[in-house]
Structure 1
Amino acid sequence: MSGKDRLEPGQAERLRQEREKDWRKALRREVSVQTRLTTPRHKMPEQPVEARVGNFLEVNLGYTLELARAEARRCLDCGQPGCVAGCPVAIDIPTFIKLIEAGELDRALEKIHETNGLPAICGRVCPQEVQCEKACNLVQAGKEPVAIGHLERFVADYLCTRESMGPLPGGSRGAEPGKEKVAVIGSGPGGLTAAADLARLGYQVTVFEALHLPGGVLAYGIPEFRLPRTILQSEINFIRALGVEIKTNFIVGKTASLDDLRQAGYAAFFLGTGAGLPSFLNVPGENLLGVFSANEYLTRVNLMKGFRFPEFDTPVPRARRVAVIGGGNVAMDAVRTALRLGASRAIIYYRRSRAEMPARVEEIKHAEEEGIEFNFLTVPVRFLGNERGELRGMVLQRLALGEPDASGRPRPVPIPGSEFEVEVDLAVVAIGQSPNPLLIRQLPLRLGRWGNVEVDYQTMATSLEGIYAGGDAVRGGATVILAMGDGRTAARSIDFYLRKKRG
């Protein structure tokens, strides 16, 4: 989907009208363009490295009000803001930033909530550097972009205390009489976004979550030091305040079938079942004790409270020498988690070079600061065990980069005779995952080569009438914000489908 396609119908004109309001003009006059251009980007305060490697507290500490307003003043309030088209959920970025500059924080959060119900999460985990910030017009002027993600996080965090004082701005909705019931399967970012948008449209929305806590990958996949659970819970509370019901410990396809839900009166469905089926290397020794998928390892730590040792006696091995295979954000999460669990050496092994690593720049930076080692152009070809069946080491092979593969990245080619052995107590395989098969294989859905649900990306409609899908169930491993964009598109399409069916 192109940037222009992300703008909603009529949004370009609404952006223009917002920009021409008197208060916006007054703000533009207060600070010269030259001053905005020459003001350096304000750095995010961080927990010191020597402290954070020994705890699971959040690394990024967040802007103060003073820092946030100073950063907001860097925004040029462009006539043609590329940042909005760069956002998968089309947030009115210039308006919320100018509201921060004006000190109108309630209104800033309300503006964000028009299209994004999870701003505190997005401000933390979305790859703004390749989306909205990449499209910032300051970049075209040779400057650092406005810290859009930091500002989004700031305004959401600043008003989190509002929960104890009353409803957050933009919340408190309810189903409209005569509107249909819609079922959302899965409470990850795509499902929560679809649920929030449908609730705003007046539908009776129920989210069915297989686990005991809502949040999907946000709950089990992302460590506390990147996404505190109090923040996740606050965002989920906002979704509930819109009138969304969330049922946990409910496995659609086992607790009840989709047909059972139809019989219960649900008229449309969004499948946000995620990608919880881990990929493995399929090499000898991969079944040894001490070899984990990243999915299992992070779930034990995050969802089963392994990070709160010794308060929770969750079986997470404390290893001295940890190898994590992979180069994405999940690999970064796993290796930084291992370090906090006491590893003396935590090493990333990645089959391509650093330039091809898909992980966020910030995550790589934080990992390097914390002493994580990186070993590029290597891949395990065998895991080695002791007489008790426990992992003791790996045999790796060096690689060279060849011609581009289907992804457009250079294909790693093995170098003959380059094998070498390393000692390892724990290995975490973080090379991707496939969609959860339980529900989608029970339905006559059209599936892709890797078991992903095929959809029309303009509507997120599947091959079955009234059933829509998005996020990792479709993409196999997407970012949080892309999943949210899918949920938002699906909600609009479900609304159109039901209105048309209603006549």
Structure 2
Amino acid sequence: MCSPQRVRGTGHRVAIVGAGPAGLFAAGYLACMGHEVHVYDKLPEPGGLMLFVIPEFKVSIPRVKGGTSELADVFNVKFYTRTKVFGGARSKEEGDAYVTKEVELKDLIKDYDAVLIATGTWSVGKLNVPGEDLRGVYSALEYLFRAKAARLGHIPRDEVPQLRGRRVAIVGGDIMAVDAALEAFYDGAGTIYVFYEGTIKDVPAGEYCIRSLTDRGVKFVELTKPKSIVGDRGEVAGIELAKVDPRTREPIPGSEFLVDVNIVINATEVKPTPPVANGYLGIKVSGDGRIVVNERHVAAEKVFAAGDVVLGPTRVGDAALDGLYAAESIHEYLLYG
């Protein structure tokens, strides 16, 4: 960060929507450049996925809180928490339960000299198999979010899925699948399976991360896809899977098998969550939910976007760097147009 004593105010005001890695790094840069920065976020504290989803053994809570406190106390960044910004149709996402106030994006555009959208990825896809609505089926995002929210004191511990001694199936192969498996391991789960439709060589999380799971006794099963979740009296009693062709990733007829589990965690896909519908005030949203920007991160007049809502699901460092690049473009826009 810069020295606050050397910062000279520009008189420009910037609104940032989203207090995750991209939004916070952008806030720090813009505050250092002398702009007045206000950050809007739906959660009860700033930090986004870093604070509320990524396990503490990877990103410490004091480190995140220390950074946001420095932004507020030293660089006068104003945080508006429990506030959801929307444009056009409203969407329902993880974390919305904390929202107590809504603000329309067009009002921010009117009140500020520039607006940065950095709302991240707070929605999940479906497994699209029978039994997905049984008790004991969770998304990885939901499970990790509840675990961190409880540690932060925002929900009681009994609202977190109880995995101690349970048999857990995790479906997926990205970083969130790995995080869910590690969280389940540290929560005392009995047996943990990770089922992935590809091989360990092409897993998105990387072979090293998968090896770190298997070293802890997690069973990684490759070239496997779920066909259904088996229930008993409304609760998970098992998961039926099929082996897939390594070339087509299509299920191989007759290869079905049943695994005895009582918890299923869907870690197949997290999706960008733009606060606007496609076409709102000229902002374009792609079919997979990403906001379309040009090389200067411009989405529309006075509106910029960065982080996972532009890139899709990425690592924290990539999202933070993208937020920094967007902040540089905003600074140039405010000074030179």
Same-fold status (TM-score > 0.5)? yes
- Could you say if the C-alpha distance between residues 307 and 248 of structure 1 is closer, same or farther in structure 2, counting changes exceeding 3 Å? closer
Q: Distance in 2 between matches of 1:282 and 1:444?
A: 33
Tell me, yes or no, if the aligned pair for 2:201 and 2:207 is still in contact at 8 Å: no
Which residue, out of 293, 312, 322, partners 1:476? 312
Distance 1:484 1:288, change over 3 A: same
Shift of the 460–317 alpha-carbon distance from structure 1 to 2, 3 Å rule, reads same
Q: Please give the alpha-carbon distance, in whole angstroms, between the structure 1 residues aligned to 2:153 and 2:188.
A: 11
Structure 2 equivalent of residue 424 of structure 1: 261
CA distance in 1, matches of 2:271, 2:8: 37
Gaps of 5+ in 1: 1-112, 114-169, 403-410
Aligned equivalent of 1:315: 160
CA distance 1:362–1:281, change in 2 (3 Å): same
Report the TM-score when normalising by structure 2.
0.88
Does the aligned pair in 1 maintain the 2:171–2:195 contact within 8 Å?
yes
User: 1:449 and 1:252 mapped to 2: Cα distance?
Assistant: 21
Q: Highest Rg: 1 or 2?
A: 1
| Superposition CA RMSD, Å | 2.2
Richer in helix (by share): 1
1:373 pairs with one of 193, 197, 219? 219
Residues 379 and 397 of structure 1 are in contact (CA less than 8 Å); yes or no, is this contact kept in structure 2? yes
- 1:231: how far off? 1.6
Answer with 350-359 or 434-443: which moved more: 434-443
Separation in 2, partners of 1:363, 1:306: 26
1:362 Cα deviation after fit: 4.8
Report deviation, 1:339: 1.6
* Identity among equivalent pairs (%): 33
SS in 1 for 2:158: coil
Task: Return the letter of the residue paired with 1:435.
Answer: P
Instruction: Give 1:236's aligned amino acid.
Output: T
Report whether the alignment pairs 1:244 with 2:89.
no
- Counterpart secondary structure, 1:260: helix
1:213-234 Cα distance to aligned partner (Å, 9 max, x none): 1111111220112122112112
Q: Distance in 1 between matches of 2:115 and 2:46?
A: 18
Asked if residue 413 in structure 1 is aligned to residue 258 in structure 2, the reply is: no
1:171 Cα deviation (Å)?
Answer: 4.6
Match of residue 489, structure 1, among 322, 325, 328: 325
Distance 1:226 1:307, change over 3 A: farther
* C-alpha separation in 1, matches of 2:157 and 2:257: 38
- Structure 2: give runs of 5+ residues left out of the alignment: 87-100
| Alpha-carbon contact 1:209-1:248 (below 8 Å) kept | yes
Q: CA deviation at 1:306?
A: 8.6
What is the correspondence of 1:9-408 to structure 2 with a 5 Å cutoff? Answer: 113=1, 170-172=2-4, 176-240=8-72, 241-253=74-86, 255-263=102-110, 265-305=111-151, 312-318=157-163, 320-387=166-233, 389-402=234-247
Give the whole-Å Cα distance in 1 for the aligned partners of 2:132 and 2:148.
23
- Would the aligned equivalents of 1:306 and 1:313 in 2 still touch at CA under 8 Å? no
Secondary structure of 1:269's counterpart equals: strand
Q: CA deviation at 1:413?
A: 2.7
Q: Which amino acid in structure 2 is aligned with residue 244 of structure 1?
A: V
Give the distance between the partners of 1:306 and 1:208, measured in 2 at CA: 20
Higher relative contact order (CA 8 A, sep 6+): 2
- The answer to whether the Cα contact below 8 Å between 2:19 and 2:40 also exists between their aligned partners in 1 is yes
Distance (whole Å) between structure 2 residues aligned to residue 308 and residue 345 of structure 1: 29
Question: How many residues align structurally?
Answer: 320
Which is richer in strand? 2
Task: Give the counterpart letter for 1:476 in structure 2.
Answer: G
Displacement after TM superposition at 1:488 (Å): 1.1
Q: Is the 8 A contact 2:42 2:81 kept in 1?
A: yes
